[in-house]
Amino acid sequence: MNTERSQVAVVTGASRGVGQGIALALGAAGMTVYVTGRAPEQGGSNLYGRALNGSLQETAAAITAAGGRGIAVICDHGDDAQVQALFAQVERECGHLDLLVNNAAFIHDQLIEPGPFWEKPLDLVRILDVGLRSAYVASYHAAPLLLRSERALVCFTSSFGAGCYMHGPAYGAQKAGCDKLAADMAIDFENRGVAALSLWLGPQLTERTRIAGEQHGEQYKAFLAHAETPEFNGRVIHALLNDPQLMEYSGQTLITAEIAPGYGISEAEGRQPPSHRAMLGDPRLQHPARVT
């Protein structure tokens, strides 16, 4: 077992897109980052018939090149045994965990298509399995390792879709569920040095959204003009992890665009992504009652 107390993170669903960008930002900050995906090499993922670039091995190599230590772990987050094996590996190799980013989610090709849920494939509901249930399972197996760190964080990548209609009921339920997982896990972690947060990310500049923008033109044009890079959000997550006041935020749902300026974080050339609170709504405040 490596007893060196370097900061260690697990980012789920990091072959490409949001998870990949977050993992790269954590690597650039010098962290050891375990990244998960269903296959080590590129292939199988596409949108509108176009293959999506990126692979688990490429992500791990890029993390190392950025100054961190990238470790690729093949893991299907729909298989609880594989998730358990992931954290057993982290325990053997590092002995502790500082950060879990629950990002893995099943995204159906027709998620953003218009129309009521019953006219879309039933398969869209799988986001509640890989996206919500899987985040609970990962957090369950990560918890003993997080408790070994002086200060640790469980982070859920959520969105404004938790509070407004966005992409249909399955997507909305998954995002709202992540917010609630963070709120309730924070209570269980209370006074144990582990925080749980849900983060509302704005529109993300990924290959997937670029392709979607080409298909949906004006619908996405305004949003993408002010979108965030996943790396921006990774830097926000790293700042939160290392904030001495982290525990004061535990249990909350935060908007990354709103908290980034306080950490001096912006996009290239100082561009500051906007919050969409005024247009899409506020994070829900949890009632303080506790029934045990």
CA–CA distance, 30 with 214 (Å, rounded to integer): 36
Q: What is the pLDDT of residues 104-155, one digit of tens each?
A: 999 888 888 889 999 999 999 999 999 999 999 999 999 999 999 999 999 9
Residue 275's pLDDT band (cuts 50, 70, 90): very high
Tell me: pLDDT of 276 over 80: yes
pTM of the model: 0.91
**What average pLDDT does this structure show over 155-171?**
97
The per-residue pLDDT for 32 is 98
The per-residue pLDDT for 248 is 97
The answer to whether residues 153 and 96 touch, using CB atoms and an 8 Å cutoff, is no
* Mean pLDDT within 54-83: 95
Query: What is the model's pLDDT at position 43?
Result: 52
What's the rounded Cα separation, in Å, for the pair 277 and 123? 30
Name the one residue in this structure whose structure tokens are 């919500």: 132
* Average pLDDT over every residue of 54-66: 93
Question: In this predicted structure, what is the pLDDT of residue 280?
Answer: 96
Half-sphere exposure of 178 (CA within 13 A, CB side): 37
How many angstroms separate the CA atoms of 227 and 17, rounded? 13
What pLDDT, in 10s, does the model give residues 181-226? Answer: 999 999 999 999 999 999 999 988 766 556 555 555 666 666 677 7
Look at residue 244 and give its three-state secondary structure.
coil
Average the pLDDT over 16-27 and give the result.
Answer: 95
Does an H or E element contain 187, and which?
A: helix 169-188
Q: Please report, for residues 29, 41, 51, 52, 138, the alpha-carbon distance to residue 44 in angstroms, rounded to integers and kept in the order given.
A: 31, 9, 7, 8, 24
Question: Is a pLDDT exceeding 50 seen at residue 84?
Answer: yes
- Name the H helices within 17-147: 17-28, 56-65, 80-93, 134-146
Give the separation between CA 102 and CA 143, rounded to whole angstroms: 13
d(CA 204, CA 273): 10
- Helix H or strand E segment including 32: strand 32-37
Question: How many Cβ atoms sit within 10 Å of the Cβ of residue 137?
Answer: 18
Model pLDDT, residue 1: 39
Q: Give the torsion sign (CA, 222, 225, 226, 229).
A: positive
Distance CA 150, CA 83 (A): 24
- pLDDT confidence of residue 210: 65
Average pLDDT on 96-101 reads 98
Sorted by where each starts, the structural domains of the chain and their CATH numbers stand as 8-280 (3.40.50.720)
- Alpha carbons within 13 angstroms on the beta-carbon side of residue 96 total 17
- Cα–Cα distance for residue pair 238/117, rounded to 1 Å: 36
The pLDDT of residue 123: 96
How does the average pLDDT of the chain come out, rounded? 91
**How far, in Å, CA of 97 to CA of 9, rounded?**
6
CA distance from start to end of the chain? 38
Token pair listed for 243: 């904030």
Task: Examine the pLDDT at 69 and tell me if it is beyond 90.
Answer: yes
pLDDT of residue 3 exceeding 50, the answer is no
Can you tell me the distance from the alpha carbon of 118 to that of 112, in angstroms, rounded to the nearest whole number?
Answer: 14
Q: How confident is the model at residue 2 (pLDDT cuts 50, 70, 90)?
A: very low
β-bridge pairing 8-11 and 99-102: parallel
Residues marked active site are found at 171
What residues contact 137, with CB distance under 8 A and at least 6 apart? 77, 80, 83
